[in-house]
Amino acid sequence: MPTTTQVKVTKNYVNGAWVDSKGTESQEVINPATGEAIGKVVFSTSAEVDAAVKAARAAFPEWRSTPPVTRARYMFKLKNALEERFEECAKACTTEVGKTLEESRGEVRRAIEVVEVMTGAPTLMKGQSLEDIAAGLDCAVFRQPLGVFAAIAPFNFPFMVPLWSLPAAIAAGNTFIVKPSETVPLSQQLVFEILDELDLPPGVVNLVNGGKDVVNALLAHPGIRGVSFVGSTATAKHVYVEAARHGKRVQSLGGAKNFILVMPDAVLGSTVNALMGSCLGCAGQRCLAGSNIVAVGDIHDALRDGLVEKAKAMKVGNGLDPTVHMGPVSTRAAKERVLRMIELGVKEGAKLVLDGRGVKVPAHPNGFYIGPTIFDEVTPSMTIAKEEIFGPVFNIMRAKDFEEAMAWVEDCPFANAGSIFTSSGKWAREFGYRLPASMCGVNIGVAAPMAYFSFGGSRLSFFGDLKAHGGESIDFYTDRKVISSRWL
């Protein structure tokens, strides 16, 4: 146990109160920058999951009949409370997941934007109506909340991902349960401290910590009407199948392998800068990270040289240090997995033009650091071109023309995001038209989710139909009731 940091033991938040979990299993929470334990997550029991569902169910009738405008006022309160504790939130995020403070600030800002959009819940909740569908008969469609929803979150955005769904779900009149990633449960302790100060009715929001047993208990629980999942493709598929088997609504966002095409007419300097952010931002641990960079035609050598030069100059270290450009990966296991992927790339014949394996951060010898790593001459059949690496490693591939590059993109079973860098409207249009992924960037490194547009991928990157964010999230969290009336 460290002497410098206070170790925090997670609590659950159920029915408006903090409770110690009775679970007997626990796991240390490690600061990846230092290797120090900063917390302990206690895995909840199925009885604790049941208690959270019961509290959320009991809170539902009154909450659903609370006027939408009153529910929206809680969103204004939540926004203000998050703004007031903005820096504390960003620091909590960096400390448990390792990204730089600037990246955490971006994460907190994006979360607040979701809350901001949901201050408009009364407008977003409005239905439709039509007079005289037959003589004297009117028809109206009302959006109605469904009951209890749950969010199951991944490790890489510990602060933001539960706030992708919680604001929309409760603003629409549902009650909610959050299950954070067991690797990074501390940011949500802080989020619930903030939620606790809003004086929401007890049971509207609940927090249950744990791992896969808690997930499976949520999926099977008859009291839960729907699930918003974000995580790896294997778990996303499992969640989709199990939630559907138990009759729930489900939106399940999975993993990715994102292509970025760089056309010969791309503006080189700004393209290189954007690719740095895309591939190495958050140490590559983003579902929207650029992973396969396809250099089309004769831009290859200049692009490779520009990328290697920029990546070499990046300072790796503790994300709390403002001079650092890239933090560690999240866990020791993640580091070992990424190192295995690098070895595999070398074995499969890719050319390692920048090797980050030997990076040292003298102040933190026990941190989980890997330096920027770039493979060149990667071909589509290599494992590193097909599987998500989820670390600060990316590939350069050579394509003779747009059609060859596009064929690789169209063959990819993942379809989360893709970008093209070009000065040609024709190529940009063609790329947007044919890209199987749902998030498309033109001269943009990360086609990031915006709270007021829908978000989610396709193919193996998304299971479900209604996506996250904006109006579509209100569709997910509500039913549409059609009332036809004739008054005699």
Candidates 231, 281, 328, 372: give the one binding ligand NAD (CB under 6 A).
231
Is residue 235 near ligand NAD by the rule CB under 6 A? Answer: yes
Rounded to whole angstroms, the Cα distance separating 155 from 231 reads 8
Stretch that binds ligand NAD, among 1-9, 79-87, 149-157, 375-383 (CB under 6 A): 149-157
Per rule CB under 6 A, count of chain residues that contact ligand NAD: 28
Is residue 253 near ligand NAD by the rule CB under 6 A? Answer: yes
Stretch that binds ligand NAD, among 249-257, 320-328, 352-360, 430-438 (CB under 6 A): 249-257
Are the C-beta atoms of 355 and 411 separated by less than 8 Å? no
Residues 6+ apart with CB under 8 A from 393: 284, 338, 341, 342, 345, 356, 370, 373, 374, 375, 384
Is residue 283 near ligand NAD by the rule CB under 6 A? Answer: no
Is residue 153 near ligand NAD by the rule CB under 6 A? Answer: yes
Minimal distance in Å, beta carbon 21 to ligand NAD? Answer: 15
Cα angle: 215, vertex 217, 221; to 5 degrees: 120
Is residue 388 near ligand NAD by the rule CB under 6 A? Answer: yes
Catalytic residue among 93, 279, 282, 287: 287
Are the C-beta atoms of 295 and 397 separated by less than 8 Å? yes
Minimal distance in Å, beta carbon 255 to ligand NAD? Answer: 3
Minimal CB distance to ligand NAD: which residue? Answer: 231
In degrees rounded to 5, what are phi and psi of residue 143? -90, 130
Classify residue 67 as exposed, middle or buried by CB count within 10 Å of its CB (0-12, 13-18, 19+).
Answer: exposed
Candidates 104, 175, 181, 454: give the one binding ligand NAD (CB under 6 A).
181
Q: Which of 474, 12, 13, 478 is nearest to 203 (CA)?
A: 13
Is residue 27 near ligand NAD by the rule CB under 6 A? Answer: no
DSSP 318: -
Is residue 156 near ligand NAD by the rule CB under 6 A? Answer: yes
Stretch that binds ligand NAD, among 95-103, 193-201, 232-240, 396-404 (CB under 6 A): 232-240
Q: DSSP assignment of 244-300, as one string?
A: HHTT-EEEEE----EEEEE-TTS-HHHHHHHHHHHHHGGGG-STT-EEEEEEEGGGH
Minimal distance in Å, beta carbon 247 to ligand NAD? Answer: 18
In this complex, which beta carbon is closest to ligand NAD, that of residue 56 or of residue 208?
Answer: 208
Is residue 421 near ligand NAD by the rule CB under 6 A? Answer: no
Q: What is the Cα 352 distance to its own chain's centre?
A: 29
Are the C-beta atoms of 477 and 226 separated by less than 8 Å? yes
Stretch that binds ligand NAD, among 42-50, 86-94, 210-218, 356-364 (CB under 6 A): 210-218
Q: What is the largest CA-CA distance in the chain?
A: 83
Is residue 254 near ligand NAD by the rule CB under 6 A? Answer: yes
Strand, helix or coil at 306? helix
Rounded to whole angstroms, the Cα distance separating 35 from 271 reads 35
Minimal distance in Å, beta carbon 285 to ligand NAD? Answer: 7
Candidates 152, 261, 280, 341: give the one binding ligand NAD (CB under 6 A).
152
Minimal distance in Å, beta carbon 234 to ligand NAD? Answer: 7
In this complex, which beta carbon is closest to ligand NAD, that of residue 97 or of residue 420?
Answer: 97
Candidates 26, 232, 331, 379: give the one binding ligand NAD (CB under 6 A).
232
In degrees rounded to 5, what are phi and psi of residue 463? -120, 120
Is residue 155 near ligand NAD by the rule CB under 6 A? Answer: yes
Amino acid at 295: A
Is residue 173 near ligand NAD by the rule CB under 6 A? Answer: no
Minimal distance in Å, beta carbon 39 to ligand NAD? Answer: 16
Rounded to whole angstroms, the Cα distance separating 168 from 128 reads 20
Is residue 457 near ligand NAD by the rule CB under 6 A? Answer: yes
Strand, helix or coil at 343? helix
Is residue 458 near ligand NAD by the rule CB under 6 A? Answer: no
Please indicate whether residue 279 is annotated as part of the active site: no
Is residue 212 near ligand NAD by the rule CB under 6 A? Answer: yes
Is residue 122 near ligand NAD by the rule CB under 6 A? Answer: no
Candidates 14, 53, 178, 287: give the one binding ligand NAD (CB under 6 A).
287
DSSP 204: S
Rounded to whole angstroms, the Cα distance separating 334 from 283 reads 11
Minimal distance in Å, beta carbon 164 to ligand NAD? Answer: 8
In this complex, which beta carbon is closest to ligand NAD, that of residue 107 or of residue 475?
Answer: 107
> Would you state the structure tokens that stand for residue 216, as one six-digit string?
């499976």
Q: DSSP assignment of 141-173, as one string?
A: EEEEE-SEEEEE--SSSTTTTHHHHHHHHHHTT
Minimal distance in Å, beta carbon 368 to ligand NAD? Answer: 14
Cα angle: 90, vertex 91, 95; to 5 degrees: 120
Strand, helix or coil at 90? helix
Stretch that binds ligand NAD, among 129-137, 207-215, 314-322, 366-374 (CB under 6 A): 207-215
Catalytic residues: 287
Binding site for ligand NAD (CB under 6 A): 152-157, 179, 181-182, 211-212, 215-216, 230-232, 235, 238, 253-256, 287, 388, 390, 416, 457, 461
